[in-house]
Amino acid sequence: MGFIYKRKINYYETDKMGVVHHSNYIRFLEETRSRWLEELNIPMEKLEQCGYTIPTLEVICKYKYHITSGDNIIIEPILTEFNGVRMTVTYKVTDEKTGKTVIEACTKHCFTNRELKPINMKKANKEINEIFENLLN
């Protein structure tokens, strides 16, 4: 098991029906990815200082089970694709209490320089590239 992010749902994140509004899940994935990168010792601030960005190209999210205010979710990011230029992160998101799958999701990203031109981390930064390659193994 890799990195785990636990998050309590706030009341303001719910809709009129009392369940988490669908748009908030994308924020939860972003929070998880940011904390995960911190854990890997490559926080977004460090990446930006090196002149890199990791824009999101695509988000796929299938809603499976609703959660409400006060519930806790467990989010596990898993690097499923990485080639130096692009990466795909798949997320295992479960309700802490029931163990049910809340959403099935993945995000796709690319690596760019400050001018948003694609870069290959294999050439641009071997240390960062190695961190991501090791996650695939």
Q: What per-residue confidence (pLDDT) applies to 137? A: 76
Sequence length of the chain is 137
Q: What per-residue confidence (pLDDT) applies to 22? A: 95
For residue 106, the SS3 value is strand
Distance in angstroms between the alpha carbons of the first and the last residue of the chain: 13
Q: What per-residue confidence (pLDDT) applies to 53? A: 96
What integer is the mean pLDDT of 118-123?
97
* pLDDT tens-place string over residues 51-89: 999 999 999 999 999 999 999 999 999 999 999 999 999
Residue of 128, 76, 129, 82 lying closest to 108 (CA atoms): 82
For residue 69, the SS3 value is coil
5-136 belongs to which homologous superfamily? Answer: Hotdog Thioesterase (3.10.129.10)
